[in-house]
Amino acid sequence: NAGVTQTPKFRVLKTGQSMTLLCAQDMNHEYMYWYRQDPGMGLRLIHYSVGEGTTAKGEVPDGYNVSRLKKQNFLLGLESAAPSQTSVYFCASSWTRYEQYFGPGTRLTVT
């Protein structure tokens, strides 16, 4: 089992560009999450999903959109990137609201 995978691992964007981050899990988990982690700080929840076709806002949803068309995939979109969105993005999944399994992260730089 690959667990949770994220694509891409690194990305550099210019202000105003758009991109989509892909998260995939092969554990048949219902719950999936997108977090951002800024240097020296904790994880902040952007959006999450409790099942295929559902999404909900987390703590810091502004500037991001998500979709969960298939149970195993959770996509995070940035429509118009801003320097404030420079961060490391982690995807996670879980059976219920408990133990979360994290992907390796995507390091995004917006110039």
Partner 1 sequence: QQPVQSPQAVILREGEDAVINCSSSKALYSVHWYRQKHGEAPVFLMILLKGGEQKGHEKISASFNEKKQQSSLYLTASQLSYSGTYFCGTDRPAGNMLTFGGGTRLMVKP
Provide the binding-site residues for partner 1, judged by CB under 8 A: 31, 33, 40-45, 48, 50, 56, 58-59, 90, 97-105
Query: Could you tell me the two tokens for 2?
Result: 């690959």
In angstroms, give the least distance from the CB of 16 to partner 1: 29
Q: Of 105, 15, 25, nearest to 63 (Cα)?
A: 15
Q: Is 58 left (phi over 0), alpha (psi -120 to 50) or beta?
A: beta
Cβ closest to partner 1, residue 6 vs residue 85: 6
Nearer to partner 1, 48 or 74 (CB): 48
